[in-house]
Structure 1
Amino acid sequence: MREGLACGFSGSMTATVLVVDDHPVVRDGVALLLRSDPSLTVIGSAESGQAGINRAGELRPDVVLLDLRLPDMLAPEVIAGLRRAHPAAKVVVFTAHGDHQGVVAAIEAGAAGGLLKDVAGTDLAAALRRVLRGERVVDPRILPDKGQRSDALARSGLTRREYEVLRLAAQGKTNPEIAQVTGLTRNTVKTYLQSALHKLGARNRVEAIGKASEAGLL
């Protein structure tokens, strides 16, 4: 039944939700917001990306409500791990920042939606039910200005290829996996990554991803 819910949700069924957020107030708040809705049940929570991946594999929730900013991992990397641990789960990113470019990166990584943390309980429940029915739900306040990322990309000095390779690295993909997705050779992927590291002033891949995120690229 769990697997079927994520594919085709019916209002008569109860769907399960896992909350991944490093703030206890948010985790408890979501549970309180959804308590009055019989169609949604919070079955667990996690305070970090890796803990969220582990919990998703154990609990197999229908929906994972994922904080955009976690202390150990970027949202696209967490989403990649969630897809490996429990592919049937729908992932919805949860953020306090309405103009964050990371929402787009998370959706590109496979998230089914993006919501602001000031959402009311009834709106949150309605959004999660829509996601369970297969819709993509993004709060209109967090749809970014397309020009913002282009401007940030221009300031960084990264080429489109360098940015594409770095974005895939931020999703947790290895060089061979990036090569497969892009059609590039592994050596070419390595060259683009090294060039991106140099332009961002980063010593390694993790630092480059962090700096790109701070610059509004991820």
Structure 2
Amino acid sequence: MSDSVLVIHGAPAYRYGLVLGLKELGFDACEGETAEAAEQAEWDVCLLHTPTPDTSLLTRVRQSGQGLVIALVDGLTVDNCRDVIGAGAHGVASQDADFDDIAEALRLARWGETRVPISLLRTLVDASPAAPSGLTLSQSETDVLRQLASGRPIADMAATLGYSERQMYRLARGIYFKLGAGNRSEAIATAARWRLLDDSS
């Protein structure tokens, strides 16, 4: 049995065209205009127009928990991709893409994969350089780094973290060295670029 695909888009002609194309490929396709369609219909994959940065519709459709959601965005940009993937989309395609590209995004999402244009991939890599693989920071160093980023004076940081000022200066200098930074500002900039200040790091 073929997958059931729901197309949600505010433009009737656009969603109708997608549904026709998907039916020609053998999908059981239907259409809807709002999130209510996702709650009322049964579907395995939803192609959802998601006008970023507002991803509330995507979040609502994801909460229905029925299947995979592929976001159709207004252009494949780093910000658009980050917004929709962060909101739970399983795949992303530009709504201006050729039908074959949108159908391919659907197929890949069903296999747990996604396709990213090389130009966008290069932009993502350039925008988010990874920290060197050999770089390791202890939990105490990470705590100090976050305190440094908060802009607080060394004396206040020392009191908060339970160190003497001398120990705090020594810890800070050790972190600067590990990050290849000459001072506090450079260390903070490097840590932000390498995402060392993220909660997950």
Report the TM-score, using the length of structure 1 for normalisation.
0.50
Note the C-alpha offset of 1:140: 4.5
Query: Equivalent of 1:118, from 76, 85, 96?
Result: 96
Q: Which has the larger radius of gyration?
A: 2
Alignment of 1:65-80 (within 5 A): 65-69=47-51, 74-75=54-55, 77-80=56-59
Q: Which runs of 4+ in 1 moved over 6 A?
A: none
Alignment of 1:185-204 (within 5 A): none
Match of 1:56 in 2: 38
Residues 65-91 of structure 1, C-alpha deviations (whole Å, 9 max, x = no match)? 111218xx922x222212222x13111
Structure 2 unaligned residues grouped into runs of 5+: 129-145, 147-201
Alignment of 1:1-218 (within 5 A): 13-38=1-26, 40-46=27-33, 51-52=34-35, 54-69=36-51, 74-75=54-55, 77-85=56-64, 87-99=65-77, 101-140=79-118, 142-143=120-121, 145-146=123-124
Return closer, same or farther for 1:110/1:37 CA change in 2, 3 Å cut-off. same
8 A Cα contact 2:68 2:109, kept in partner: yes
Aligned length: 129
Note the C-alpha offset of 1:135: 1.9
Greater relative contact order structure (CA < 8 Å, 6+ sep): 1
Report the TM-score, using the length of structure 2 for normalisation.
0.54
Separation of aligned partners in 1, 2:86 and 2:2: 28
Separation of aligned partners in 2, 1:43 and 1:58: 12
Separation of aligned partners in 1, 2:51 and 2:78: 10
Root mean square deviation, CA, Å: 2.8
8 A Cα contact 2:46 2:69, kept in partner: yes
Q: Amino acid of the residue matched to residue 15 of structure 2?
A: R
Q: Amino acid of the residue matched to residue 81 of structure 1?
A: R
3-state DSSP of counterpart to 1:111: coil
Separation of aligned partners in 2, 1:142 and 1:64: 23
Residues 101-134 of structure 1, C-alpha deviations (whole Å, 9 max, x = no match)? 1221110111011112233333322321221122
Structure 1 unaligned residues grouped into runs of 5+: 1-12, 150-159, 161-218
